[in-house]
Chain A
Amino acid sequence: MSIERMSMRTSHDPANISRRSMLLNSGAGFGAMALAGMMSHGASARGTETLESKLTHHFPRAKSVIFLFMEGGPSHIDTFDPKPMVQELAGKPVPESFGRVITAMGEFDSPVLASKRKWKQHGEGGLWMSDWLPHMATRADDLAVIRSCWTNGINHSGGVCQMNTGTQFAGRPSLGAWVTYGLGSENENLPAFVVMQDKGTVVNGPRNWSTGFMPAVYQGTAMQVSGVPFANLDTPKHIGNDQQRLELDYLAQINRRHAEQRSDNSELEARIRSYELAYQMQSHAPEAVDLSQETAETKSLYGLDDKDTEVFGRNCLLARRMVERGVRFVQCYHGAGSKWDAHSKIESNHTKMCRGMDKPVAGLISDLARRGLLDETLVVWGGEFGRTPMSEQGDGRDHNPTGFTMVMAGGGVKGGKTYGATDEIGLHAVEDRLHVHDLHSTILYLMGLDHKKLIYMHKGRPERIDQNEGHVFRDIVA
Chain B
Amino acid sequence: MSNRVSAIIVRTIVFLIVGVGAVRSNAAELSRKESDLFERHARPILTAHCIKCHGEAKQEGGLRLTTLDELITGGDSGPAIVAGKPDESLIIEAIRYESYEMPPEEPLDDEIINGLVDWIAAGAAWPEDVQLTTRRSITDEDRDWWCYQPIAAIKPPQVAESAWGRNEIDGFVHRRLVEKELQPADQATPMELVRRASFAITGLPPSDDAVKDAMSADFDYEAYVDQLLDSEAYGENQARFWLDLVRYADSDGYRADFNRPDAYLYRDYVIRSFNADKPYDQFIREQLAGDEIDPGNRDAIIATMYLRHWIYEHNNRDVENQWHEILSDITETTSDVFLAQGLKCARCHDHKFDPLLQNDYFRIKAFFAALQPVSEHPVADVATRAAYRKQLANYNERTKELRSQLREIEYPVALEHATREGFDKFIVEIQTMVKKPASEREPYEQQIASMAERQFDLPYEKLDQWLSEEQQAERAKLKARLAKLDHLKPKPLSTVKFVATDVGPIAPTNFNPDDSDRVPVVPGFITLLDESDAAISPTPAALQTTGRRTALANWIASADNPLTARVIVNRIWQQHFGRGLVATSSDFGRLGTPPTHPELLDYMAKQFVADGWSFKQLHRLILTSATYRQTSRRPMDRSTSRIDPTNELFWRMNPRRLSGEEIIDAILTSGGELAATKRAIYKKVERNSPDPLLKTFDGPDRIRSSGRRHRTTTSTQSLLLGNSSWAHERADSIVRHLVDSQGMTDTMLVRRAYRKLFSRDPTGDEVALAEDFVKRYAERTPVEEPRPTVSLAKLPGDAGLAVRLSGTSTSQIKLGETKGLPDSDFTVEAHVLLESLYKDASVRTIATHWNGSNKSSGWSLGVTSQKSSYKPRNLILQLVGKTDKGDQLQYEVVASGLRVPLNKPCFVAASVDLSDATKAGVTFYLRDLSDPDAVLQVSNVEHTVTSAVRGTGDFVVGSRHGKHRWDGLIGSVRIENKRRDLALVAQADSDAGLPQYSVDYRFDLKESIGLDSSGSHLHAVVSPKTPPAKTPRQRARVALIHALMNSNELIYVD
Contacts and interface: CB of A to CB of B under 8 A. Distances in A.
B487 interface: no
6 contacts: A12-B645, A29-B10, A45-B710, A246-B1039, A267-B1052, A277-B715
Nearest to A255: B1048
B1 A242 contact: no
B714 A171 contact: no
A286 interface: no
Interface stretch (A214-222, A351-359, A410-418): A214-222
B13 interface: yes
A310 to B, nearest CB: 18
B867 interface: no
Top 10 nearest A-B pairs (CB, nearest first) are A460-B587, A31-B13, A106-B425, A12-B646, A157-B255, A278-B718, A171-B703, A215-B710, A460-B591, A232-B719
Nearest to B32: A27
Given A238-B1035, A246-B777, A7 B712 contact: no
A258 B1044 CA distance: 12
Contacts of A257: 766
Interface string B581-595: 001101101111110
Contact of A35 (B9, B311, B578): B9
B426 A106 contact: yes
Interface string B63-78: 0000000000000000
B657 interface: yes
A105 B424 CA distance: 9
Interface string B254-269: 1101000000000000
Given A216-B712, A254-B766, A267-B713, A459 B336 contact: yes
Interface string B1-19: 1110111111011111101
Given A216-B695, A243-B780, A277 B1048 contact: no
B941 to A, nearest CB: 34
Nearest to B17: A31
Given A204-B688, A255-B1047, A3 B15 contact: yes
A251 B1047 contact: yes
Contact of A274 (B311, B596, B717, B728): B717
B784 A238 contact: yes
A461 B777 contact: no
Interface in A183-205: 191, 203-205
Contacts of B635: 263-264
Given A4-B593, A216-B698, A278-B719, A272 B1048 contact: yes
B1049 A232 contact: no
A262 B1053 CA distance: 12
A158 interface: yes
B342 interface: yes
Most buried by A among B587, B636, B646: B646
Contact of B773 (A6, A234, A246): A246
Given A254-B1043, A264-B636, A461 B10 contact: no
Given A170-B687, A243-B1039, A251-B1046, A8 B596 contact: yes
B255 A155 contact: yes
Interface in A222-275: 230-236, 238-240, 242-243, 246-248, 250-251, 253-255, 257-259, 261-265, 267-268, 270-272, 274-275
A4 B1049 CA distance: 35
A282 B781 CA distance: 21
B19 to A, nearest CB: 8
B1047 to A, nearest CB: 5
A155 B713 CA distance: 36
B780 A47 contact: no
Given A102-B318, A243-B1039, 8 more contacts: A4-B593, A16-B2, A106-B317, A170-B703, A207-B253, A257-B766, A272-B1048, A459-B586
Interface string A269-309: 01110110110011000000000000000000000000000
Contact of A154 (B317, B703, B707, B1042): B317
A197 B71 CA distance: 58
A144 B16 CA distance: 43
Interface of B: 1-3, 5-10, 12-17, 19, 36, 39-40, 109, 253-255, 257, 311, 313, 315-318, 325, 336, 342, 344-345, 353-354, 424-427, 578-579, 583-584, 586-587, 589-594, 596, 632-633, 635-636, 641, 645-646, 648, 655, 657, 687-690, 692, 695-696, 698, 701, 703-704, 706-707, 710-720, 722-725, 728, 766, 769, 773, 776-777, 780-781, 784, 1035, 1039-1040, 1042-1044, 1046-1049, 1052, 1054
A30 interface: yes
A341 B989 CA distance: 62
A235 B723 contact: yes
B109 A471 contact: yes
Contacts of A383: none
B716 A221 contact: yes
A26 interface: yes
Interface residues of A, number: 104
Contact of A216 (B325, B687, B704, B710): B710
A217 B696 CA distance: 9
A22 interface: yes
Nearest to B688: A205
Contacts of B1: 16-17
A34 interface: yes
B1048 A268 contact: yes
Contacts of B39: 29
A9 B715 CA distance: 29
Contacts of B696: 216
From B311, B689, B1047, residue with most partner A Cβ within 10 Å = B1047
A69 B632 CA distance: 49
Given A25-B6, A235-B723, A246 B13 contact: no
Contacts of A17: 1-2, 5-6
Contacts of A155: 255, 313, 315-317
Contacts of B725: 236
B1049 A258 contact: yes
B424 A106 contact: yes
A236 B318 contact: no
B593 A217 contact: no
Contacts of B325: 169
A300 B129 CA distance: 72
B928 to A, nearest CB: 22
Contact of A32 (B9, B353, B1043): B9
Given A232-B719, A236-B725, A278-B722, A206 B689 contact: yes
A216 B578 CA distance: 18
Nearest to B598: A4
B2 A22 contact: yes
A396 interface: no
A277 B717 CA distance: 11
B698 A457 contact: no
Contacts of A243: 777, 780-781, 1035, 1039
A47 B712 contact: yes
B9 A45 contact: no
Interface string A147-174: 0000000111110000000000111000
Contacts of A102: 317-318, 427
A56 interface: no
Most chain B CB within 10 A, of A155, A230, A251, A460, is at A460
A21 interface: yes
Contact of A170 (B342, B701, B1048): B701
B261 to A, nearest CB: 20
A389 interface: no
Given A203-B255, A205-B689, A3 B12 contact: yes
Given A234-B723, A460-B584, A4 B648 contact: no
Contact of B714 (A46, A170, A217, A259): A217
B713 A34 contact: no
A261 B10 contact: no
B593 A8 contact: yes
B425 A236 contact: no
B648 A8 contact: yes
